[in-house]
A and B are shown apart, each in its own frame.
Chain A
Amino acid sequence: MKRRKEAAAAPSANEARLRNEVERGRRDLERLQKQVAELEATRERLSRLYFSQVDDNRKRAEKLHLLLEVVSQINSTRELEVLLNHIAGAIQKSLGFRIVLLRIREPGTLRLRARAFAGLDGAARERLAAQEVLVDDFLSWLRDEFRVSRSYFISHTNSFSKVLPEGYVPDLGERADWEWHRDDVLLVPLFSRNGELLGYFSVDDPVDRLIPSREVVELLEIFGNHAVVAIENARLYADLEQRNHQLEEATQRMQELNALKNNFVSTVSHELRTPLTAIRAYVDALQAGIEEVPAEQLRRFFTIIDEQSQRLARLIESVLDLSRFDSGMVRAERQPVDLVEVVRETARMLEPVAQTAQVALKVVEPTDDTVVDADGDQLRQLVLHLASNAVKFTPAGGEVQFRCAAEGDHVSLEVEDTGIGIAEHELERIFERFYQVDSSLVRRYGGTGLGLAICKSIVDWHGGTIVARSTPGQGSCFRVALPRREPARVLLRGASRLGQASADVLRMAVEMVAEVMDARVVSLMGLTPQGGLVIEAALGLDQRLVDEVSIGPGQGVAGWVAEQRRPVCMSNPEEPAEVAPSGRRQYRSGTFLSVPLEGERGLLGVLNVTDPVARKEFLAEDCHMLLVLAARVGAAWEQALSLERTQAGVEDAAETLRSVLSHLQRGRRTAPNRVRLASAIARHLGLSEAEAGLIGYVASVHDVGMTAVGEDVLSGARKLDETKRAAVEEHAERSAEIMRPLEVVGAVREMILTHHEWWNGSGYPRGLRGDQIPMGARILAVVDAFESMTVGRAYRPARTGREALDEIVSLAGLQFDPAVVEALVQALPVAELDDESGPGSVQDDEPQTSAARR
């Protein structure tokens, strides 16, 4: 027993080995079975993935066709609103959202306004249109945690969704947690190429009740790209329109001015002829027989000739005066002049005339300071004219009174007479040229009809006003008000390279700072490329100073401010006024405030404020206020700069879009044939329906780059020279580049890029050979060649289908894939090969599918 037990307890070594091997074999088998199962599952998964991808590709290709329809509308529809609504409709239809809303930034503002809708009734549209979203608010919603691709999904489960404005909330009924909820928000921001926010769109109520996948979001973004191009294009167009309009207005004004000028010229020539006529007539009479004219008459004749000559001279002088004012060629310089002194002088000069006419002249002594910055000669001419006019029209025994006064920052003069007066309806017109209240009267008094017009020009030049009031029969009063000092104007640096927007911003900024800070002198300095500073805009400085001031990096107070990015406030009113090398008085630096001007992208320049009107020192609050202003100015300037850059960018984008569109329009005639031929070849090669569809699609758009090559290459030259050949060869790359925003499937890009490769490896751009070239590209190459041969190009006449086919067959194995050439032979209907009209109708196994795809 013991042995048996032993035997039983200890089996033979062989048995044990065998058992071990069996055990190991079983485990191996299990492992293998598991691996096989895994492999099976992987294969299954892979094949599912493959089929779903093929299916996806087909769906995407269909959606791309829809997209292209939208794009082609951009050319035919100028109105942005219509176009955006079209895009909204396309999103609704092709991507399955019942509600689409587009908000667009109002140009020049920070407001986003609802401009396009789909799936919303009138009341909802109105409510949304009335609701504005601020750009800053919108940007604050775009948190990283919500980001999906380039869009933002804010789930109703996130508390932030309650922060958003109500907008439009659809009635979706009961929804499960994983379904799209009424409070879910999907925002697709629309940024221009330069990163400027143009607007955004949001979608709601997906037809499939699902929260959109990343791929759907990406498709939404493609629509977004088109909306961006459309908006930029429309703005460009609107800008162009506006400029046209401005041009038209300017032309209109020019015509009016021209009419006015012509009228003036004809009136002047009449006025000049009148004294000339008198002179000629009297001289003629004298020539007829001077001996027959009585001595008394003779003296009278000569007096008249003399008077009329003087009248002619005065008239010519007046016309010249006016034309100098009109052309801005008036030579005048402002200097302090005491108005009352000019009045006294004039009264003394007119005293003999007044005495003869028995009119009393009375200068009322002013109680105010009547010193005014004015041109002395012009001021004397003005006062003399008003005074002599008053004396002329005042009957004997009357009086002319002069009153000078200061009112605020103006100095005024009133000249009042007790003369015949002017009727009320004529008061407005007396400053017009040659407007004669009563010409016989004017002429009796020897006027030129231009005196008051000249007075008005003088007053206008000084920035003042002149008005008349009168009571007929009792007298008239002319009132002149002149600004005591030249109204400060913002000057821009002459050599400035600022764009229009920047120039406008800086001009306004300087005015605003002067107003708020109550300062006489404000200068805004910009950084030079070398890091120095120049004055870009200034108020209260003369043009020469503005043009010439240039500070090296770190120099002076402004240089220090720029370098340290810290404000400086200097108060040393005792310091004497500096004298600039030009000899002109430089601005007093006694009370001086200088702050850095910074934008988001860094230092822009320095803002200086000098000479407070109150002549008090600047205080810490003033410095703080200037810093606040500087921040605003900096932001505005930066915005203007980015606007200027955007305008340049928009033009590029618009150019690209135009080339795509013109290609599509030109290709519309031949595209269906090409699509059918490409699809037919694909089917003959045994490719799947999805692949055939995709290749057909690419065939319809792949040559977009050809448009960018340029009209002259395609239509002008009969034969391609080397540079033109290079340009044509480049087009494959251009097509891929231009189509980039439209591209969803990587294969599309590949196909486009390689359709000029040759089977034997001597093609372009990469020199691929044989199977390295994607099948789609090989098909495209053949379709392309066949079409261009039969349609013809400017540099090559059209051939018949037979000739084209023969040539392509001869190139099989060299340029083309022999299998594809064989498929082409099968796809082409033999009967129509000799038809001049080219591949007009292609044998197509499934015309229904092609038609449906279009």
Chain B
Amino acid sequence: MAKGKILVVDDEIYIVHILDFSLGMEGYEVITALDGEAALEKARSEKPDLIVLDIMMPKLDGYETCKALKAEAKTKDIPVILLSAKGRNADQKLGFEVGADDYITKPFSPRKLVERINAILGQNAPHRLQA
């Protein structure tokens, strides 16, 4: 059985692919969305354990999506990690204000992201070492 279900949201298809690959290797089940609106739908229907959310996206951006997720009873308890090329403090602050649980700046290391996800989901030891 998978360690958990992760929703990866990014309009950049290559980022979605590599996260799918890396998290998959880590034993997570990965579902994907290419924009904020699709993300909200998947969050409601698939009930993921964690959401990795890009900020700069068409239609509904990461902040708006996060706010919407945190405003909805069904999804408000799902941890959100914001992923953005915007590295400034003000942007991070805005990220936490909309209810994000963590903030990672692009370019990022997928290994670091996995570590953060593990920490949030309380799975300190990687899957492979457990095995």
A residues with a Cβ closer than 8 A to B are 269-270, 273-274, 276-282, 284-285, 288-289, 292, 297, 304, 308, 436, 438-440, 443-444
State whether A443 touches B12 (Cβ < 8 A). Answer: yes
> Does A304 contact B25, Cβ atoms closer than 8 Å?
no
A277 to B83, CA, bound (A): 11
> Are A285 and B14 touching (Cβ within 8 A)?
no
Contacts of A279 in B (CB 8 A): 107
Check B127 for interface membership: any CB of A closer than 8 A: no
- Report whether A277 and B108 are in contact in the complex, using a CB–CB cutoff of 8 Å: yes
How far does the alpha carbon of A539 sit from the alpha carbon of B118 in the complex, in Å? 73
Contact A278 B18 (CB under 8 A): yes
23 contacts between A and B (CB under 8 A): A270-B56, A270-B85, A273-B106, A273-B107, A276-B106, A277-B85, A277-B108, A279-B107, A280-B107, A280-B109, A281-B18, A281-B19, A281-B107, A282-B14, A282-B18, A285-B110, A288-B22, A288-B111, A436-B58, A438-B58, A439-B11, A440-B11, A440-B34
- Which residues of the partner chain A approach B71 to less than 8 Å between Cβ atoms? none
Distance A279 CA – B58 CA, assembled complex (angstroms): 22
B3 within 8 Å of A (CB atoms): no
Least distance between A604 CB and chain B CB atoms (Å): 61
A772 nearest CB across to chain B (Å): 85
Chain A residue numbers with a CB within 8 Å of B12 are: 274, 277-278, 443
Residues of A within 8 A of B108 (CB): 277, 280-281
B34 touches A292 (CB 8 A): no
Tell me the chain B residues, 49-72 only, with Cβ under 8 Å from chain A: 56, 58
Does A281 contact B85, Cβ atoms closer than 8 Å?
no
Query: Max chain B CB contacts within 10 Å: which of A274, A281, A292, A440?
Result: A281
CA distance A182 to B21 in the complex (A): 104
Bound complex: CA of A282 vs CA of B13, how far in Å? 13
Q: Flag if A284 contacts B17 (CB, 8 Å).
A: no
Contacts of A436 in B (CB 8 A): 58
Per CB-CB distance, the 3 closest pairs between chain A and chain B, nearest first, are: A280-B107, A273-B85, A277-B107
Contact flags (1/0) for B1-30 with A, using CB distance below 8 Å?
000000000011111011101100100000
The answer to whether A288 touches B110 (Cβ under 8 A) is: yes
- Cβ of B15: which chain A residues have Cβ within 8 Å of it? 277-278, 281
A351 nearest CB across to chain B (Å): 28
A273 vs B10: C-alpha distance in the bound complex, in angstroms? 14
Q: How far is the CB of A307 from chain B (nearest CB, A)?
A: 8
Which residues of B sit under 8 angstroms from A270, Cβ to Cβ?
Answer: 56, 85-86
Q: Are B58 and A440 in contact (CB under 8 A)?
A: yes
Q: Which residues of B contact A440 (CB under 8 A)?
A: 11, 34-35, 58
Are B14 and A278 in touch, CB under 8 angstroms?
Answer: yes
Q: Are B85 and A443 in contact (CB under 8 A)?
A: no
Q: How far is the CB of B84 from chain A (nearest CB, A)?
A: 9
Among residues of A, the one whose C-beta sits closest to the C-beta of B109 is: A284
Contact of B58 among A282, A284, A289, A439 (CB under 8 A): A439
Compute how far the CA of A288 lies from the CA of B35 in the bound complex, rounded to whole angstroms.
28
Query: In the docked arrangement, what's the CA distance between A304 and B13, Å?
Result: 11
Bound-complex Cα distance A444 to B109 (A): 24
CA distance A270 to B17 in the complex (A): 20
Q: Which of B95-131 contact A (CB under 8 A)?
A: 106-111
Q: In whole angstroms, how far apart are the Cα atoms of A289 and B34 in the complex?
A: 27
Q: Which residue of A lies closest to B85 (CB)?
A: A273
Residues in A with CB closer than 8 Å to B11 are: 439-440, 443
User: How far is it, in angstroms, between the C-alpha of A490 and the C-alpha of B66 when the chains are bound?
Assistant: 59
For A281, the chain B residues whose CB sits under 8 A away are 14-15, 18-19, 22, 107-110
Docked complex Cα distance between A278 and B109 (Å): 10
19 further A-B pairs in the complex, CB-CB below 8 A; given A273-B85, A280-B109, A284-B110: A269-B85, A273-B106, A274-B85, A278-B14, A278-B18, A281-B19, A281-B110, A284-B109, A284-B111, A285-B18, A285-B21, A285-B110, A288-B110, A288-B111, A289-B25, A438-B58, A439-B11, A439-B58, A443-B13
Residues of chain A within 8 A of B17, CB atoms compared: 304
From B25, B86, B109, A292 is in contact (CB under 8 Å) with: B25
CB distance from A297 to the nearest CB of B (A): 7
How near does chain A come to B114, taking the closest CB pair, in angstroms?
9
* A285 to B22 Cα, complex, angstroms: 7
Cα–Cα distance between A464 and B67 once the two chains are bound (Å): 47
State A281–B18 Cα separation when bound (angstroms).
Answer: 7
B18 and A444: CB pair below 8 A? no
Please indicate the chain A residues that have their CB under 8 angstroms from the CB of B111 in the complex: 284, 288
Query: Shortest Cβ distance from A481 into chain B, in angstroms?
Result: 33
Among B13, B14, B85, B111, residue most surrounded by chain A Cβ atoms (within 10 Å): B14
User: Would you call A304 and B14 a contact (CB within 8 A)?
Assistant: yes
- Cα-based distance from A274 to B109 in the complex (angstroms): 14
Contacts of B21 in A (CB 8 A): 285, 297
Determine the chain A residues whose CB is within 8 A of the CB of B34 once the complex forms.
Answer: 440
Q: How far is the CB of B77 from chain A (nearest CB, A)?
A: 28
In the complex, what's the smallest C-beta–C-beta distance from B97 to chain A, in angstroms? 20
Which B residues lie within 8 Å of A438 (CB)? 58
User: Which B residues touch A304, using CB under 8 A?
Assistant: 14, 17-18
Give the complex CA separation of A277 and B86 in angstroms: 12
A231 CB to nearest B CB, Å: 55
Chain B residue at minimal CB-CB distance from A436: B58
Give Cα distance in the complex from A273 to B108, angstroms: 10
Bound-state CA distance A297–B17 (Å) is 11
A717-B121 Cα distance, complex, nearest whole Å: 82
The A-contacting residues of B in range 25-44, CB under 8 angstroms, are 25, 34-35
On chain B, the residues within 8 Å of A277 by CB distance are: 12, 15, 85, 106-108
Query: How far apart sit A279 and B12, CA to CA, in the bound complex (Å)?
Result: 12
Residue among A292, A304, A439 with most chain B CB within 10 A: A439
How long is the Cα–Cα vector from A289 to B25 in the complex, in angstroms? 10
Greatest chain B CB density within 10 A among A277, A278, A284, A304 is at A277
Instruction: Report the Cα distance A280→B19, complex, angstroms.
Output: 12
Scoring A276, A282, A297 by chain B CB atoms within 10 A of each residue's CB, the highest score goes to A282
How far apart are the CA atoms of A277 and B85 in the complex, in Å? 8
Instruction: Using CB atoms, name the residue of chain B closest to A305.
Output: B14
CA distance A285 to B12 in the complex (A): 17
What A residues does B35 contact at CB under 8 A?
A: 440
**Complex Cα–Cα for A308 and B18 (A):** 13
Closest to A279 in B: B107
Closest to B17 in A: A304
Most buried by A among B17, B34, B108: B17
Residues in B whose Cβ lies below 8 Å from that of A297? 21
**Chain B: CB-nearest residue to A300:** B17
- How far, in whole Å, are A285 and B21 apart by their CA atoms in the complex? 8
